């Protein structure tokens, strides 16, 4: 291994990296990125990488959109900061809230701004509790999430997340958080069980959980339309239709986590439109500003807003908020991002490119390492297995997914391993047809290198 550069050493000695094996990282060091253009980023040595994850599922408009840069600069010059506490306001936040209400897939009354998907989902949980106190339902506080869900990393949001590594030794989840079955047909369906029958069983499991806990104690159900960091898990047919019916039966508030799926990723402005359900409240972040600046929002219905009014009259204030809620520069960039989506028909273009993307993704299912290739719109994943016939996973300690990601980097492609040996792909929405082919050509070569390495290491089933 080549010696680490001075910059890499400085990084190791100063920065704690999220979702990184910190011990192994001291030996390997960082991939240092210096600039970006289009769907490519460039490292400190000048090597180009096709950014196959749009950063972290977020840089929808690529890495050199001058309109977003100018929107930030213009707002910086005009009003670089203003808060929304104690009745203050400013045009960018007002206009952004108006725009979100206008494009929302369901009736939305107000928007609460924050800075990340984690904060948005943390806020969702607090508002549900707050609302039920206002409604005189102090016992109706439990929130149902799903195994392998990802909803963030604050104490509350990480509790909603259904991934072991987000709980182990963090003393999570906290009280009042429940997890129901994961809707992944490949891994959890019974032999011969159709998608529709699997969805029926999942809905029955949710109903059983609600009845066991007591319907008067279960407040909300939260879901991503397509589960992202849990493995790019597309729900089985009729899933949300059946889940929504259970929620309606027991007066369970439905929260739609659109942090990854929102703003075109699945081929419509919101993922719930593609998956066919109508939530009560929606969390948005990531592509809201094409990730150029941190901003997120909670889109709340009128009945929840009325509950906030009741509590404000009782307490004298709404005691929640962040210094940077609705930051004017971030809001201005988000407004320009939404304008570009509409003006340039970004969502429609992404939908038009989805068949090519999904066809190339599906073809990877023939690879000896790939147990399942799955996705929707412009997001997908391949699940790597030691034995395709039995679906046997690799020993997690062998790091097969991580090895595939490193081979992809050798090929000039950035992808991510998640939830074990699952390699995810989520390019900027502006990716061209030629770049889609290039992405999958590079990923195919990375899979071949991983196969050859796995054979040498005798990791494949006989």
**Cα–Cα distance, 48 to 67 (Å, whole number):** 23
Task: For the chain, give the percent of residues with pLDDT over 90.
Answer: 98
* Tokens read off for 269: 């402005």
CATH of domain 67-343: 3.40.640.10
Which tens digits make up the pLDDT trace of 43-59? 999 999 999 999 999 99
**Cα–Cα distance, 242 to 43 (Å, whole number):** 47
* Residues 348-360, mean pLDDT to the nearest whole number: 98
In sequence order, the 6+-apart residues with CB closer than 8 A to the CB of 75 are 92, 328, 329, 331, 332, 333
**Cα–Cα distance, 132 to 142 (Å, whole number):** 11
Q: Where are the domains of the chain?
A: 31-64+347-456, 67-343
* Residues 30-53, mean pLDDT to the nearest whole number: 97
What's the gap between Cα 178 and its chain centre? 20
Q: What are the helix (H) ranges across 226-327? A: 239-249, 271-275, 302-315
- 3-state SS, residue 82: coil
Q: Are both 31-64+347-456 and 67-343 of the same fold? A: no
Q: What does 395-406 look like in DSSP terms, one character per residue?
A: PGGG-HHHHHHH
CB atoms inside a 10 Å sphere around CB 171? 8
Crossing angle for the helix pair 433-456 and 346-363, to the nearest 10 degrees: 30
Q: For residue 1, what pLDDT is reported? A: 63
Please compute, for residue 1, the number of CA atoms within 13 A of its CA located in the half-sphere on the CB side. 7
* Tokens read off for 218: 């279960």
Which tens digits make up the pLDDT trace of 363-406? 999 999 999 999 999 999 999 999 999 999 999 999 999 999 99
- Is residue 444 very low, low, confident or very high in pLDDT (cuts 50, 70, 90)? very high
Residues 43-70: b if buried by 16+ CB within 10 A, e if exposed:
beeeeebbbbbbbbbbbbbbbebeebee
Q: Tell which residue, 212, 233, 284, has the closest CA to residue 255.
A: 284
Query: Which regions of 214-320 does DSSP assign to beta strands (E)?
Result: 218-223, 253-257, 281-284, 296-300
Architecture of domain 31-64+347-456: Alpha-Beta Complex (3.90)
- Is residue 443 very low, low, confident or very high in pLDDT (cuts 50, 70, 90)? very high
Which tens digits make up the pLDDT trace of 140-177? 999 999 999 999 999 999 999 999 999 999 999 999 99
Does this model's pTM top 0.85? My answer is yes
């Amino acid at each position: 291994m080549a010696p680490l550069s001075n910059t890499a050493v400085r990084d190791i000695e100063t920065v704690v990296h999220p979702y990184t094996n910190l011990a192994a990282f001291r030996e390997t060091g960082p991939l240092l990125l210096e600039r970006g253009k289009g769907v490519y980023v460039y490292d400190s040595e000048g090597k180009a990488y096709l950014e196959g994850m749009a950063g972290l599922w977020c840089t929808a408009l690529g890495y050199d959109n001058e309109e977003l840069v100018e929107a930030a600069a213009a707002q910086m010059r005009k009003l670089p900061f203003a808060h929304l506490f104690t009745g203050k306001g400013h045009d960018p936040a007002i206009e952004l809230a108006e725009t979100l209400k206008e494009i929302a897939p369901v009736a939305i009354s107000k928007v609460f701004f924050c800075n990340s998907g984690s904060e948005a989902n943390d806020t969702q949980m607090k508002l549900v509790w707050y609302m039920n106190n206002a409604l005189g339902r102090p016992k109706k506080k439990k929130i149902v999430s799903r195994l392998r869900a990802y909803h963030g990393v604050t104490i509350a949001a990480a509790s909603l997340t259904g991934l072991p590594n987000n709980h182990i030794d963090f003393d999570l989840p906290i009280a009042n958080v429940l997890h129901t079955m994961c809707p992944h047909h490949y891994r959890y369906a019974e032999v011969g069980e159709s998608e529709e029958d699997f969805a029926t069983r999942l809905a029955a499991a949710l109903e059983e959980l609600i009845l066991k806990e007591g319907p008067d104690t279960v407040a909300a159900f939260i879901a991503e339309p397509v589960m992202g960091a849990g493995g790019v898990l597309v729900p089985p047919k009729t899933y949300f239709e059946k889940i929504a019916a259970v929620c309606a039966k027991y007066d369970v508030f439905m929260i739609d986590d659109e942090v990854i799926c929102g703003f075109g990723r699945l081929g419509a402005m919101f993922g719930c439109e593609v998956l066919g359900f109508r939530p009560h409240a929606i969390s948005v972040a990531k592509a809201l500003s094409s990730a150029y600046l941190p901003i997120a929002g909670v889109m709340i219905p009128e009945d929840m807003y009325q509950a906030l009014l009741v509590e404000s009259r009782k307490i004298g204030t709404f005691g929640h908020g962040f210094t940077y809620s609705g930051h004017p520069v971030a809001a201005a960039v988000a407004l320009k991002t939404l304008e570009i989506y509409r003006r340039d028909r970004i969502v429609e273009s992404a939908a038009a490119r989805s068949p090519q993307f999904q066809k190339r993704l599906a073809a990877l299912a023939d690879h000896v390492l790939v147990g399942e290739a799955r996705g929707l719109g412009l997001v997908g994943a391949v699940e790597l297995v030691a034995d395709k016939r039995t679906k046997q996973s690799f020993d997690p300690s062998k790091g097969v997914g991580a090895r595939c990601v490193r081979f992809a980097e050798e090929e000039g492609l950035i992808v991510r391993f998640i939830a074990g040996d699952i390699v995810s792909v989520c390019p900027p929405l502006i990716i061209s047809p030629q770049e889609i082919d290039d992405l999958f050509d590079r990923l195919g070569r990375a899979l071949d290198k991983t196969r050859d390495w796995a054979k040498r290491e005798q990791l494949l089933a006989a």
